[in-house]
A and B are shown apart, each in its own frame.
Chain A
């Protein structure tokens, strides 16, 4: 016999008596009626509870569906809006001559700005051969 199997007779006897008086005072018939009453009540409530649960599940599914549709459609709506606001490069072909000129003028603007920067270069920055070549060109 293992050590764990050794049981104390006095302890066993005391344990067997635990709760005996309280259990004997229990009115079993009243307990039985109470249990049956609760089971009947639960049975009556069950269809309503099930209906409520189904309704909640449907509402939750609808919300999830709507959110999902929103998430899927939002990037597409963004791209449509962007396309509307900024026509693609291919649309340049559809511009009128005046519009095209204005666009080209705007594109040329930075180039014009750069020119004064080149003119600002002083004569002292030129080397001697460059100066000579410049004078020759001015004298014609």
Chain B
């Protein structure tokens, strides 16, 4: 997937974060451009409706920038951002449940809202999407961070506040259940 190119010469995320903390809005904008699509993929994979993606991505970035002081650099900024995205999605799901809207997990199969896109999506992908929505949150996030985002277990464990071994076990359980749903 083509990522939008940074405006300036390659500047590290850490440098952009420092610049944002110093009040540079352009640094915040650059961080959004760098990571918005990856975050959107993660949220869509985790069950977000496409219609809600923009709001969820914005909320995630705003929450991340407000609490940037808590980012200790144990993992990459993107990984930390994805975990915040998971929290934002969970909160949105709770609000939707309180508003008696159709629960997120049950609505995952109709996420695209575009009949042509739906038709294009393979049956296996749909089943995977459905089953991901039924997984416990930890298993779902570990699976997505590993299989979709390509992160290693050390990085995943640091971001989710768990151990590498626990992350492997969560991945293993998620993979087993997802494979069963595909066969």
Q: Which residues of A contact B (CB under 8 A)?
A: 2-5, 7-8, 10-12, 14-32, 34-36, 38-40, 42
Contacts and interface: CB of A to CB of B under 8 A. Distances in A.
Interface stretch (B50-58, B87-95, B96-104, B154-162): B50-58
B4 A28 contact: yes
Contact of B33 (A3, A10, A32, A34): A32
B128 A14 contact: yes
Given A4-B171, A35-B61, A23 B54 contact: no
Indicate the size class of the contact surface on chain B. Answer: 35 or more
In this complex, which of A3, A26, A29, A34 has the most chain B Cβ atoms within 10 angstroms of its Cβ? Answer: A26
Contacts, number: 118
**Prevailing SS type, chain B contact patch:** helix
Given A10-B182, A42-B66, 18 more contacts: A5-B168, A7-B175, A11-B182, A14-B128, A15-B45, A15-B144, A16-B147, A17-B125, A21-B112, A21-B117, A25-B50, A26-B54, A26-B57, A28-B4, A34-B58, A35-B58, A35-B62, A40-B25
Contacts of B57: 26, 31
B28 A35 contact: yes
Interface of B: 1, 4, 25, 28-29, 32-33, 36-38, 40-45, 50, 53-54, 57-58, 61-62, 65-66, 111-112, 117, 122, 124-125, 128-129, 132, 143-144, 147-148, 150, 168-169, 171-172, 175, 178-179, 182
Given A15-B128, A15-B144, A26 B36 contact: yes
Contact of A18 (B28, B61, B128): B128
